């Protein structure tokens, strides 16, 4: 199993990729899913500033992918896919900005897939081989803008407002992501808890389905869906997404 991070050595430093080796980060010349090599620089993991460990061309997500989240709605016959803009990505530890006119912004803890290979019309086996690794994600969602009486035509702001896509803290390769415990905590209270084995559509199925219609690219990111029910967050709260084997994605909620 290998672990990778994107990091800065200071607030104004350049962003680099690195391979985690114990408590040391060994700097890489490029993203780990590309032709990459170590460049000889080492940094203490505890002293670097972590960024979202992704550099996608596209950011996609799956809705209604746990029965515990669907409730009484019918199970979809295929993965329900939507886009999130890349500009919604947020770093571990950085604030989720709560819009001033939002009254119903929720957390959604999710397993996130990062592709190492692209392609179109991928078989299930090819799709599995295309998945480089996994990380934690929070598909932040403003429910009134998503489903309320004055909902938008699309989820462009409900799911895509700036900072509504925290990801991290590490990108993990070689982890069996088929049965990992996912937990979401709001101010220390566990509010979501489920195994990824309960996903209706697993990672390779999702990747294969998307590739029928959209050419996938190395580095593309896919949020795989959230379990259970969700609650509103407010400024001053802290939300944590923890997935076994990956780590804890922690973000404070801050007024925009």
Q: Average pLDDT in the 225-248 region?
A: 98
Whether the per-residue pLDDT at 155 is higher than 90: the answer is yes
**pLDDT-derived band at 35, boundaries 50, 70, 90:** confident
Q: 10 Å Cβ neighbour count for 197? A: 11
Burial class of residue 220 in the structure, from the number of CB atoms within 10 Å of its CB (0-12 exposed, 13-18 middle, 19+ buried):
buried
pLDDT tens digits, residue range 111-151? 999 999 999 999 999 999 999 999 999 999 999 999 998 89
pLDDT tens digits, residue range 66-116? 999 988 889 999 999 999 999 999 999 999 999 999 999 999 999 999 999
pLDDT tens digits, residue range 181-201? 999 999 999 999 999 999 999
Q: Average pLDDT in the 12-18 region?
A: 93
Q: Average pLDDT in the 18-34 region?
A: 98
Residue 139, token pair as written in the block: 């598909």
How confident is the prediction for the chain on average, in pLDDT?
97
Whether the per-residue pLDDT at 12 is higher than 90: the answer is no
CA-closest candidate to residue 138, choices 223, 32, 73 = 223
Cα–chain center distance at 180:
15
Q: Average pLDDT in the 165-171 region?
A: 98
Q: Which domains does the chain have, with CATH numbers?
A: 2-51 (2.30.30.370), 59-255 (3.90.850.10)
Q: Average pLDDT in the 169-177 region?
A: 97
CA-closest candidate to residue 85, choices 61, 51, 110, 111 = 61
pTM across the whole model: 0.97
DSSP secondary-structure letter at 68? Answer: H
CA distance 84 to 35: 27
CA distance 92 to 250: 6
């Amino acid at each position: 199993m290998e672990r990778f991070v994107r990091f800065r050595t200071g607030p104004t430093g350049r962003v680099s990729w690195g391979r985690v080796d114990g408590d040391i980060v060994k700097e890489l010349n490029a993203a780990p899913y590309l032709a990459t090599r170590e460049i000889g620089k080492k940094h203490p993991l505890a002293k670097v500033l972590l960024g979202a460990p992704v550099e996608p061309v596209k950011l996609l997500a799956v809705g209604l992918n746990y029965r515990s989240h669907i409730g009484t709605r019918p199970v979809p016959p295929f993965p329900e896919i939507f886009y999130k803009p890349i500009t919604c990505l947020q770093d571990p530890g950085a604030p989720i900005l709560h819009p001033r006119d939002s009254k119903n912004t929720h957390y959604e803890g999710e397993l996130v897939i990062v592709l190492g290979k692209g392609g179109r019309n991928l078989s299930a086996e090819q799709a599995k081989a295309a998945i480089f690794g996994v990380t934690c994600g929070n598909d932040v969602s403003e429910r009134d803008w998503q489903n309320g009486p004055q909902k938008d035509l699309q989820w462009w702001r409900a799911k895509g407002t700036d900072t509504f896509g925290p990801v991290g803290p590490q990108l993990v390769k070689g982890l069996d992501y088929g049965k990992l415990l996912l937990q979401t905590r709001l101010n220390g209270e566990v509010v979501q808890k489920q195994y990824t084995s309960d996903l209706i559509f697993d990672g390779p199925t999702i990747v294969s389905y998307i590739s029928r219609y959209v050419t996938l690219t190395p580095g593309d990111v896919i949020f795989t869906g959230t379990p259970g029910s969700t609650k509103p967050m407010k400024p001053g709260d802290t939300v944590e997404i923890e997935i076994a084997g990956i780590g804890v994605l922690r973000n404070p909620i801050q007024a925009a």
